[in-house]
Every structure is written in C-alpha cells, then in structure tokens.
Amino acid sequence: MTSYTAPTGSDTSLPTLDLQRFYASSSDRRAFVAELRKVLYDHGFFYLTGHGVDPKLIADVVATAKRFFALPLEEKLKIEMVKSPHFRGYNRAGQERTRGEQDWREQLDINTESSPFEIGPDTPAWRRLQGPNQWPEALPELKPLLLAYQAEVTRIGIDILKAIAAAIGQAENVFADIYEPQASQLLKIIRYPGRDVAETDQGVGAHKDGGFVTVLLQDATPGLRVRTEDGVWIDAPPVPGTFVINTGELLELATNGFVRADVHDVVAPPAGVERFSVAFFLGSRPDATIPVIELPEELKRSERGISVDPLNPIFREVGQNQLKSRLRSHPDVARAHYADLLASEQSV
C-alpha cells in the first residue's frame, strides 16, 4: 500500500462508486479501493452502482411497500411492533424516537427470520431480540418479496465489507469471524408523511447507524442529509439505479475511528408530499465482540479514536449495543416487554 494522506476537506456532494470495479482488472480494483479509502475516512457515505440487483425486484419492493402503507390502519396495527418482544412489526408515525424526539415516519421492521431463543435465568437480555417477524395477513406477497430483497442486500453488504477490508489493508474476510454464520439483517420499509401530518421537520433525527454498513434504497423524494467530519451538511437526493451506502459504529470501533460512523438525518417532506425508502442494516452476530484491527502504519497514523457521545455510548459487545438501540428507539416496546431492565437500569 502506498503512503496514505488523510483528506483535508469535504466535497459538497456524495461520490459514486461502481462495485463492479472491485471485481475487475487489478488496476481498476486498486483505483476503486483508493477511492473507497478516502470516502471511509471522510464521511463513509457514497452512492453505489454496479450492485447487480434486478431492477424489477427493486421496483416490486417499492410498489409493494407503498401498497402496505396504503392498507387500512387497523390492518397495519394487527402487526404493531408493541406486540413483539423482538422489536419486529409496524410503527405509526411518531412512535419511534431519536435522541428522545419523535421521528415522523411510519415503518415496518423485519430482521432475520428465526425462532425465539430459549431464555433462562442467566441468558443475556439481548438474546430476547431473536425471534420471528410479523407479516401482514392482508398483503401475503410482502413476505417472500422482502425476504428475497433482504438476501440481495445482504450479499451487497458483505461485498462492501470485503472491499472495506481491502481499503484498510486487510484480508477480505477479516470481518467474517464476527458476522458468520448469521449476520444481523435489519430491514425497514419506510414512509415519511408530509408536514401536513408531521408535527416537526424531523423525519428521522440526527444519528449514527449501529451496524457494519447500511444499504439504502430511496424512491423519488429527497430528504436525506449527511454531516461530514467538519460539520458540513451534504444533501443526498435519490439517484435512480443506485443505493446510498454508509458505514456504521461497528466499523468505527474496529478501526479505532479511521472509519467514521457519521451523523445523518432525514427532513420531513413538504405538506402533501410522501417520501418512501427501504433501509437495510447489515450487522454482526449478536454474540460477537468487536476487536480493534491493527491497521497498516500509514493508516494507523490517521486513527481518530472512538467518538464520544454521552447520550449514545458505544459498546464492543454487539448484543448490548443492539439492545440499547432498540430500547431507546422504541420506548413503548421497552415498557411492554423489558420492564425488568428498565426498572433495574440495565438498559444501557
């Protein structure tokens, strides 16, 4: 690897990277990896092309998500998240919170399809997150469609992790020990109502993502913003045929801050306008502990350490991080199913 110089400034738009270049000629691969390394250090956000996902699958997911949100409220409430101790299901706009403030989006959360973990007196509390998803009876085609899409974006996420490993001077499989045999696969279909419904402009508040990488599909309405290391906000409007990729807290932990999990938010759309998106969060196995990867010396000199936020501590124990995030984001589910933790102040 050649000597590395940390970026000294930020662009005013997100770069676009073509994933096919990572699997192309050696010169294309080297150029791709160098570009990715710069993005990882600067803000961790970029548009991705060359991902290989069938455009029909993408179109079907967006169209069927819109049909789900158009269902009568009573149908959606049959699978309301508060009914699930595993934080799976539907949330009305204003139910989820970021830093204690309401997010004005309605959404359906699914994760890896699984059976509930057998809980005993000494079982870690985060094991209670494992379990089945809730699916709408009124839209049976949604389940196979979202599970097929989840598999595709999982493939993308792992490919990106391999590219990130190469960008930080590691073997491609350096992260495999902490996501195999089963990574966390949180998927959200999301609808942001306009300001005639939303009580503030907070579609979702400023936050960092907690996993490895996020694969975001945007429909047609803008709203996503990214804050760089030097505090500049960059708009990230939809670009047809692309995903927006960003890095999460697990990579910040693993690289001692060389890779940043940067802050981003979504501004609620104008009155009478809806915004739709599909967000996928690839995470580690919940029983993993995130190590510190020994970076090459030319990168190690640019490590910035872990960002410190008293309102959002980051733990190396993945399950503890996941449980912290869900309890804070969904206080109604926490009260319904985790009152024992809230009472004993073990939620953080």
Q: Which is more confident, 3 or 250?
A: 250
Is the per-residue pLDDT at 345 higher than 60? no
Q: Report how far apart the first and last C-alpha atoms of the chain are (Å, whole number).
A: 40
The closest of 1, 35, 2, 29 to 17, measured between CA atoms, is 35
pTM over 0.85, yes/no: yes
Encode pLDDT of 128-181 as tens digits: 999 999 999 999 999 999 999 999 999 999 999 999 999 999 999 999 999 999
Is the per-residue pLDDT at 310 higher than 90? no
Is the per-residue pLDDT at 11 higher than 90? no
Mean pLDDT, all residues of the chain: 93
Q: What is the mean pLDDT of residues 36-50?
A: 94
The closest of 62, 160, 138, 151 to 110, measured between CA atoms, is 151
The pLDDT of residue 231: 86
Q: What is the mean pLDDT of residues 239-244?
A: 97
Encode pLDDT of 170-189 as tens digits: 999 999 999 999 999 999 99
Question: Cβ distance 194 to 204 under 8 Å?
Answer: no
